[in-house]
């Protein structure tokens, strides 16, 4: 069997991206992709566990079970649409839901119950992708650059892949050199949190609310003083660094919410553009994936800041922007099943490449 389902639920906490990938052909082919929203209770619990609180172990275990049920639903929906049975699938590659990312302390926690997911789906599950890289001294993130290199690398063109999920990360694909990659700062995370607080929406459609405001230079400068932005790769980040409490420490009385939103969009765009300029040389093409690629205001700002670099979505290269990470975790699971390494030490800072993930039989 050579069909693998990849699942990705990222820091945006909105739901599960699922992709069905066929590895019997070369190059491998994405046969189908879909999205399953989080139930409101699951999303609330996931948000609550981003910060320290009472009874975290029990709450985390219950949420892991809830997530496994949602993941199983996403797989069932995808296979139903594809007209396939569980017995035709080699594995599910499931990243889980990150609630703590502390590689400097030797751990990164992705909530999941892969044993329950295997039981519910009747399919082997590959999970816990970060731990092996961290054990080898790496950050355990980002993990998708190895996949980006396999899919988007070109011997004649210098490309940078930008994934804008809750966090933004870059993959530098320069001909003749090893692939490099790192997290560069917030993607949609702060934008989503701010509009939810003020308008009860989970995201800013097309960046319209941000476009209605004006950038606050003093706020932008204050946010950019975070040492993370100036730190060289390898580096990774998450809600531990970028959250509303961090933002609020820099706000001043009288600042309009829409102006703060405009500034947060500028923070995402500027931190991406600066990271490319500082660490990626002079690429010819910038390929964008992740939910942020659908934010028209953000894409327009990126195009202006990146000039004369060509900026476009990964859709133009046969990889729909919304499903790239789900496909990546199908690819990582396939690497694991084949006993092949899935990490890049040049990206994570690990001492060596490693076969990632743990396999849970059905």
Predicted pLDDT at 100: 87
Residue 46's pLDDT band, with cuts at 50, 70 and 90, is confident
Q: What pLDDT shows up at residue 43?
A: 85
Q: CA 166, CA 179: separation in Å to the nearest integer? A: 23
Average pLDDT over residues 35-56: 86
pLDDT reading at 240 higher than 90: no
State the angle between helix axes of 114-121 and 56-82 in degrees (0 to 180), rounded to the nearest 10.
30
Residue 78's alpha-carbon distances to 6, 81, 131, in angstroms, are 11, 5, 28
Percent of the chain with pLDDT over 70: 100
Q: What is the H or E stretch that residue 199 is in?
A: helix 189-199
Overall average pLDDT of the 267-292 stretch: 97
Residues 145-194 have pLDDT tens digits of: 999 999 999 999 999 999 999 999 999 999 999 999 999 999 999 999 99
Q: What is the per-residue pLDDT for 247?
A: 97
Domains and CATH numbers, the chain: 3-139+323-360 (3.30.420.40), 145-321 (3.30.420.40)
* C-alpha–C-alpha distance, residues 148 and 162, integer Å: 10
| Mean pLDDT score, 54-59 | 91
Q: Sign of the CA dihedral 98, 121, 133, 25?
A: negative
As a whole number of angstroms, the distance between CA 196 and CA 305 comes to 27
Taking only the tens place, the pLDDT of each residue in 293-351 is: 999 999 999 999 999 999 999 999 989 999 999 999 999 999 999 999 999 999 999 99
pLDDT at 49: 85
DSSP string for residues in 21-63: EE-SSSS-EEEEEEEEEPPHHHHHHHHHTTS--TTHHHHHHHH
The DSSP H or E segment spanning 274 is helix 257-279
User: 51 pLDDT band (50/70/90 cuts)?
Assistant: confident
pLDDT of residue 53: 80
Q: Is the pLDDT of residue 47 over 90?
A: no
SS3 112: coil
Task: Report whether pLDDT(140) > 90.
Answer: yes
What are 22's strand-pairing partners?
3, 29
Distance CA 105, CA 113 (A): 23
Predicted pLDDT of residue 189: 93
**At 224, is the secondary structure helix, strand, or coil?**
coil
For residue 198, the tally of other CB atoms under 10 A from its CB is 13
More confident residue, 232 or 47: 232
| Mean pLDDT of the residues in the chain | 95
Q: What is the pLDDT of residue 321?
A: 92
Contact 171, 180 (CB under 8 A): yes
């Amino acid at each position: 069997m050579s069909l693998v389902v990849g699942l990705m639920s990222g820091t945006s906490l909105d739901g599960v991206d699922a992709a069905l990938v066929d590895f019997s052909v070369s190059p491998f082919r994405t046969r189908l992709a879909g999205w399953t929203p989080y139930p409101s209770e699951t999303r609330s619990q996931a948000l609550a566990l981003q910060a320290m609180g009472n009874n975290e172990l029990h709450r985390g275990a219950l949420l892991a079970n809830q997530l496994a049920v949602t993941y199983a639903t996403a797989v069932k929906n995808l296979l139903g649409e594809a007209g396939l049975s569980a017995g035709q699938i080699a594995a599910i590659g499931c990243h889980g839901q990150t609630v703590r990312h502390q590689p400097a302390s030797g751990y990164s926690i992705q909530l999941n119950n892969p044993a329950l997911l295997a039981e519910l789906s009747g399919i082997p599950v590959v999970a816990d992708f970060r731990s092996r890289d961290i054990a080898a001294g790496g950050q355990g993130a980002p993990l998708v650059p190895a996949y980006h290199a396999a899919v988007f690398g070109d011997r004649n063109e210098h490309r940078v892949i930008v994934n804008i999920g809750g966090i933004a990360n870059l993959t530098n694909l320069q001909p003749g050199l090893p692939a490099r990659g790192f997290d560069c700062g917030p993607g949609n995370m702060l934008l989503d949190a701010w509009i939810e607080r003020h308008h009860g929406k989970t995201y800013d459609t097309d960046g319209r609310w941000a476009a209605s405001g004006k950038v606050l230079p003093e706020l932008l400068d204050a946010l950019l003083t975070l040492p993370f932005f100036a730190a060289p790769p390898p580096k990774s980040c998450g809600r531990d660094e970028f959250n509303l409490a961090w933002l609020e420490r820099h706000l001043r009385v009288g600042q309009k919410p829409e102006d703060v939103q405009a500034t947060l969009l500028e923070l995402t765009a500027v931190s991406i553009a600066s990271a490319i300029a500082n660490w990626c040389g002079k690429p010819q093409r910038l390929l964008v994936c992740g939910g942020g690629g659908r934010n028209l205001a953000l894409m327009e700002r990126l195009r202006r800041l990146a000039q004369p670099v060509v900026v476009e979505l990964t859709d133009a290269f046969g990889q729909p922007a919304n499903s790239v990470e789900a496909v990546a975790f199908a690819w990582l699971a396939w690497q694991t099943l084949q006993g092949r390494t899935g990490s890049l030490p040049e990206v994570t800072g690990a001492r060596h490449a490693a076969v990632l993930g743990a396999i849970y039989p059905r």
